[in-house]
Amino acid sequence: MSDLSDLYQQVILDHNRRPRNRGKLPTANRVAHGDNPTCGDQCSVYLQLEGDRIKDISFDGSGCAISQASASLMTTQLKGKTAAEAEKLFKDFHEIVTSGHPPEEISDVAAFAGVHAFPARIKCATLGWHAAINALKGDPVDATTETHKD
């Protein structure tokens, strides 16, 4: 079991060291921002939605290791998926982090099953996912002309 935990920890460490799809997406037509004030995590998600499908996705943000690794992993999970598939994946992920039951097949998202033991961190783990779903449901925007609020 400890080997498995190590493996899972490696997934989170790896996404922290080498975040995937990080940075603003110039071609994005959907953007949403998520905030987790209790931990100080922030996450923006950029989507290039083509019809019903996420053609490209990126995130940008700052915060704890769990929030950033989860957002990075989320982008790899949602890229190429339809809106309905993305919502299903989020439901599954939410189930994993709240119940602690990983899916039967070993997958990278199972790395976050351990989060369920730390209820305060569940918001960290789901922050990027919430932003992605909000971006999917939001109005079209032109990310290239988005004004910086900071």
Which spans of this chain sit near Zn ion (rule: CB under 5 A)? 39, 41, 64, 67, 124
Residue of 134, 142, 132 lying closest to 70 (CA atoms): 132
Q: At what angle do helices 2-17 and 65-78 cross, to 10 degrees?
A: 80
Closest contact distance (angstroms) between CB of 64 and Zn ion is 3
Closest contact distance (angstroms) between CB of 60 and Zn ion is 16
Nearer to Zn ion, 41 or 56 (CB): 41
Q: What is d(CA 42, CA 90) in angstroms, rounded to the nearest whole number?
A: 18
Closest contact distance (angstroms) between CB of 2 and Zn ion is 24
Structure-token pair, residue 17: 């060291």
Q: Does residue 78 contact residue 86 with C-beta atoms inside 8 Å? A: yes
Closest contact distance (angstroms) between CB of 69 and Zn ion is 10
β pairing state of 53-62 and 30-36: unpaired
Closest contact distance (angstroms) between CB of 27 and Zn ion is 29
Nearer to Zn ion, 14 or 87 (CB): 14
Q: What is d(CA 95, CA 38) in angstroms, rounded to the nearest whole number?
A: 21
Nearer to Zn ion, 4 or 120 (CB): 120
Q: 130 in helix, strand or coil?
A: helix
Nearer to Zn ion, 21 or 126 (CB): 126
Nearer to Zn ion, 79 or 121 (CB): 121
